[in-house]
Amino acid sequence: MYQCVQPKKSQLNHQKTQVKKDLTPKQVYEIVALSELCAHPANPRKGDIAAIRESIGANGFYGAVVAQRSTGHVLAGNHRLLAAQYEGLTELPVIWLDVDDDRALKILLADNRTNDVAGYDDAALAALLKSLKGDLGGSGYDDESLEILLADLRPAATDAAKGKLSERFGVPPFTVLDARQGYWQERKQAWLALGIQSEIGRGGGEKLTMSHTVQRLKPRADQAAARQTTGRLLPRTRTAP
């Protein structure tokens, strides 16, 4: 089961914002006719009424809209009110607030803005949606939106895996002497533990032989003869051992 989320200590200990003394303005809960309510004419928010209607159809109308007592203007839940009208509801639960017009406008703006500045823990959201086992109706999400969310999470998981692998095996370029150092010996043992066989591809397990580019220089006598004939040394080609 899910556990209740508690405020972090850093959130509890911060300096309190200076606000008015009446932190809880007078408010009354009632069930009222829709005719007593009015979507706020100054509301700048554009909501998705179709999505809200789907939620009402699946989950019913839960909670309450918040409205100013003196005007009947809805301060929080304007699009829920409109969706309820489309769904044919005749009554709604309302919380009436006795506030002046200026404070009513601030509540209207704050209710929208505090949602705008919020975000998601995408991994937790994906896990929550997957826990519904395909029954996403009424959640505001569908299979396509879940697939997009999961696709966005995959690159992050891949990058994280790469980072872990780099931490385990990645080291700066090395020389023959470096290969004898402790950290390379440790990585060699880690590769062996993973089943990596470095000898595969080297002649069926035989010892590594020198390539044609790692061969002895031509004898000095040949170089001296070339200088006498051409006035130049032979190119620094190499002969097989």
| Residue whose tokens read 């061969």 | 215
3-state secondary structure 103-126: HHHHHHHHHHHHHHCCCCCHHHHH
| Residue whose tokens read 């699946």 | 58
pLDDT tens, position by position, 192-236: 777 666 666 555 444 545 445 444 444 555 555 545 544 554 455
pLDDT at 31: 97
In 3D, which of 94, 87, 95 has the Cα closest to residue 51? 87
Q: Which of 78-87, 108-117, 159-168 has the lowest mean pLDDT?
A: 159-168
pLDDT tens, position by position, 118-142: 998 999 999 999 999 889 988 989 9
pLDDT at 214: 41
Question: Is 169 a residue whose pLDDT tops 60?
Answer: no
In 3D, which of 46, 55, 53, 169 has the Cα closest to residue 112? 46
Say which amino acid occupies 197: Q
Strands (E), 70-228: 73-76, 91-97, 216-217
Cα-based distances in Å from 181 to 135, 168, 187, 208: 57, 16, 10, 21
In 3D, which of 75, 2, 5, 12 has the Cα closest to residue 45? 75
Mean pLDDT of 156-185: 56
The share of the chain scoring above pLDDT 90, in percent, equals: 46
Question: Is 116 a residue whose pLDDT tops 80?
Answer: yes
Cα(60)–Cα(84) distance, integer angstroms: 10
3-state secondary structure 18-58: CCCCCCCCCEEEEEEEHHHCEECCCCCCCCCHHHHHHHHHH
What pairs with residue 39 in β-bridges? 74
Question: Is 82 a residue whose pLDDT tops 90?
Answer: yes
Q: Which residues contact 169 (CB under 8 A, 6 or more apart)?
A: 187, 190, 191
pLDDT at 117: 92
pLDDT at 112: 93
pLDDT tens, position by position, 11-21: 555 555 555 55
| Residue whose tokens read 């004939």 | 229
Mean pLDDT of 26-52: 95
Confidence category of residue 85, pLDDT binned at 50, 70, 90: very high
Highest mean pLDDT among 71-85, 115-129, 171-185, 219-233 belongs to 71-85
191 or 77, higher pLDDT: 77
Chain centre distance of CA 83: 31
pTM, to two decimals: 0.57
Cα(211)–Cα(221) distance, integer angstroms: 24
113 or 214, higher pLDDT: 113
Mean pLDDT of 185-195: 70
pLDDT at 38: 96
* DSSP SS3 for 210: coil
pLDDT at 123: 92
Cα(52)–Cα(65) distance, integer angstroms: 13
Cα(104)–Cα(83) distance, integer angstroms: 22
pLDDT at 230: 47
